[in-house]
Structure 1
């Protein structure tokens, strides 16, 4: 057993990670380096002071730093670890022979990835290193995933906002701020009921329970209220998730003002078409139109003409000619000698 308490039993790391050692006792540092090499790790450097540890970490960017808490010089291991975590985001495992609770509490505030209390053996060393590296990789992946999600949310055209179980807005994207007319800090001080009066705290709680119980999102329709008092129609899709042990509602709100305008225009167009039913039939019958495309073309051809007696002027005049021809065909025998003026129908007798 050496001075650090390391056994000679070999362990081999599955992935060749790079480790930085920060230890001011040369013999202990060399023993740790030898053990790490036997387990398949690469040692990037051995630092004796906190200042040197910070510089080496920034230059070499190792997979993990083994940091002795008590170091010579003005900067101890805790202060050096805090700088490395803040500037280089490298995981740190503390080495210490001191179990003083005050020191440990101070060390915990730097978010270490583990503690090794001297003396320790190779199994303890390797298991601590592997656990810390794995945890760090998972945290990096989670942070990258959160950043991608945040980027998608922030660049989305639709409004996203997150509410807690009491209806308080705990997060929102830029589109939500613009849609509602609030600055980000203002929106985060509101409750959902401030811009959606139909959503009370009780309903938020019910929606949260419902969203957690079902697989797909909940879709609601309503109106949102802007800061200036103007309201607008929205369609809201709601789902739930858990953050730090607390259930939250994620709402995607889409302004459907344009959609409702188009629906209104379509309904008005249908109403106008229906109002032409008293006008179209005579024209359609006269032209012997049967299919929908021909009828629509007939409507387009005649809709701007001057209307008279339920038929356009062009078809009315043709209709008069048809009536005159029909009357001439059905004259009584012996009446062929009537003058043309007598055979023609009186204008007063024809529909105008």
Structure 2
């Protein structure tokens, strides 16, 4: 029977005993997942080396009007949900599953969404992914198995779910309608910013909600083994490595400075493209984050002052302008 117990979704940080690293504790009802800071950063690095993560973020950005989600999740929050499943990760999957008919009544915020996900994957997996399905229905055990998967497998599952969601009628109609209204095809099919001297491609994507990121697709040559017969006429196989080279304003500027100072014309051109197409948006996003951070800090300070001096709450400066009471006539 499928478990319908809710996650607490709470998280806290505490210093590890005898360890300089900070432990990130993700609490669940039945278990506690502990990730020290170094291992968490390593998992984030591994995820950012996957092109599937960039594809998921692009899908959530482009089709946000169709998905109609009010989650407002950032890329970092999505990454942490893949590393240690939490409430945000569950809500993201539930929102996507609700757009894939027939809609199950089990999508009520409980862990039952994992079972619904498995049923969808069984029908769609051969068309949206490769290899074996990493998670199948197992009389409710799939819920605990999902939490035991490594972040890469959870990312591949989320990528497959986005592919399924993109194949639904409302998504296809949205694309066709936008193209008829004059929307450029590049809004749905990303164009690279350019290539450097080694043939590595640079990609830029993001929004004011998810955040902005700069990617690099590094081309690696295929096998140098000599082939005989007709096989020698075929072009050598190539593979590429995906890198997330910038996620913050400082990192974007560092990449621009590095490319602009290069002696290779192609790299200088890429640097100019990043500076003109990406950096202005990243600067606005950075200023917005700083304003929100300062506002949050002010609210926390006011709340803390209210706890320290509860009698001062509600006292305003206008009280100083009151005329003193006089009892003389």
TM-score after normalising by structure 2: 0.21
Considering fraction of residues, name the structure with more strand.
1
Greater relative contact order, per chain length (Cα 8 Å cut-off, separation 6+): 2
Higher Rg: 1
Per the normalisation by structure 1, the TM-score is 0.20
